[in-house]
Structure 1
């Protein structure tokens, strides 16, 4: 991982840890000290063309009286073999961390966010983002809710040719969830780092998914993911999409 990302995420972790240390009594009665989900899907084909693909994701959440934290890791790897020729066709790693300071019991907070993306076939060596802002829940009822984050930030990007592509951005993120039943839910995630200059890259992503609970801690998820970069590098496609079916274990 690049030194820039390490310094960003280390600073974020240290700031959150120091704030917790100032008020240790709040750690004694956590709302939900730790929850996590691990997601994994594997696809393999044989015959004239052999291929294998692995998709993994891990999400860790902490919920304290005045703070909540979220860490996310996402990875994709795909390899094809045809007539003895091996070729990697997808290799992507994404990591993000967000810490929210709660302003009220109604799900409003201010946040600090950092992310790192390494997509081998995007034309970028790496894409980093840092942002601060405001988050709240627009609405909620018995079956659904809609959350959003918005705030200014900065992106640190480098192309495969070594050129730097840094820009001021507006960080936007939305999450909608609808529960059809206690066992089945629909989730829509949208995120975009909108560049304030027209000649800079705007990176966006979307995930639409249906999750069905199989057992208490085990679920199956069908998802459609879209990743879009507004600037095309080296004649590459601006948009990538992935359809996946994975198993999720929660603990």
Structure 2
């Protein structure tokens, strides 16, 4: 009887230790991708990203920093070729979720800033507040959504004196699926609906672990603006393979 009780106590202690080890108050991942070609075509592409999650007793916070730079050899009107920057983008965002009595029910505040040199906008910024709810979270998957009013402020590339600003409604979905111990799938969807422009973004990512700290990630990012200049496309698509390093 005493032996059985002692074994049970040991198993409970090990289980509690395992749960504590899995629950990290702060996590951060860094991504990096680099492509360089020479010869008939000269191209340089660099992409980097930092993602951080901070879990507190009363708050659940997420932060993202992304940068993209691309340089291509472009043919000039006289037939010569010249190396030029063809893509340059910077994006930062942060969302804080304040937990209510039911910790799956939260109030959120969100802010983002995007500087995309080759889009119709010199920059786009957004602030939003509202309701966030985690519908479920188990060992293999999680799903949450956010919805609420906000305000956007942007400047166009075609006319720096022209601004696009006004009230918006922001909605976002976040789905994560742990396929196995070494593979993970993630789908993020967001939209910011305004009177002048509706900006929507989709990030679809599949990652595979190489070891405890390193992973390889394949991601497709699509950004759509309903209001763009005549010489610009509404949809921007970015496809990339990056190496992910888990700092914490």
TM-score range for the pair, normalised by the shorter chain length: 0.7 to 0.9
- 1:230 is matched with which residue: 200, 221, 226? 226
CA distance in 1, matches of 2:101, 2:116: 38
> Is 2:112 aligned against 1:139?
no
Secondary structure of 1:180's match? strand
- 1:203 is matched with which residue: 189, 199, 203? 199
Alignment partner, residue 245 of structure 1:
241
CA distance in 2, matches of 1:164, 1:42: 34
Work out the number of aligned pairs and report it.
Answer: 218
Alignment of 1:58-207 (within 5 A): 58-82=50-74, 84-160=81-157, 161-162=159-160, 163-195=162-194, 197=195, 200-207=196-203
Conserved 8 A contact 1:32-1:64: no
The offset of 1:32, in angstroms, is 4.0
- The unaligned stretches of length 5 or more in structure 2 are 1-22, 75-79
Deviation track 1:177-222 (CA, whole Å, cap 9, x = no partner) reads 1221111011111111111x2xx11111111111101111111100
Change (3 A) 1:105 1:40: farther
Q: TM-score under structure 1 normalisation?
A: 0.83
The offset of 1:167, in angstroms, is 1.8
Q: CA RMSD in A?
A: 1.5
Conserved 8 A contact 1:139-1:145: yes
Conserved 8 A contact 1:188-1:208: yes
The offset of 1:138, in angstroms, is 2.1
CA distance in 2, matches of 1:185, 1:104: 31
Q: Structure 1 stretches (4+) deviating beyond 6 angstroms?
A: none
CA distance in 2, matches of 1:227, 1:55: 16
Deviation track 1:10-69 (CA, whole Å, cap 9, x = no partner) reads xxxxxxxxxxxxxxxxxxxxx744221101111111121100101110012211111122
Deviation track 1:118-170 (CA, whole Å, cap 9, x = no partner) reads 01111111100000011112234442221111110000011121201002111
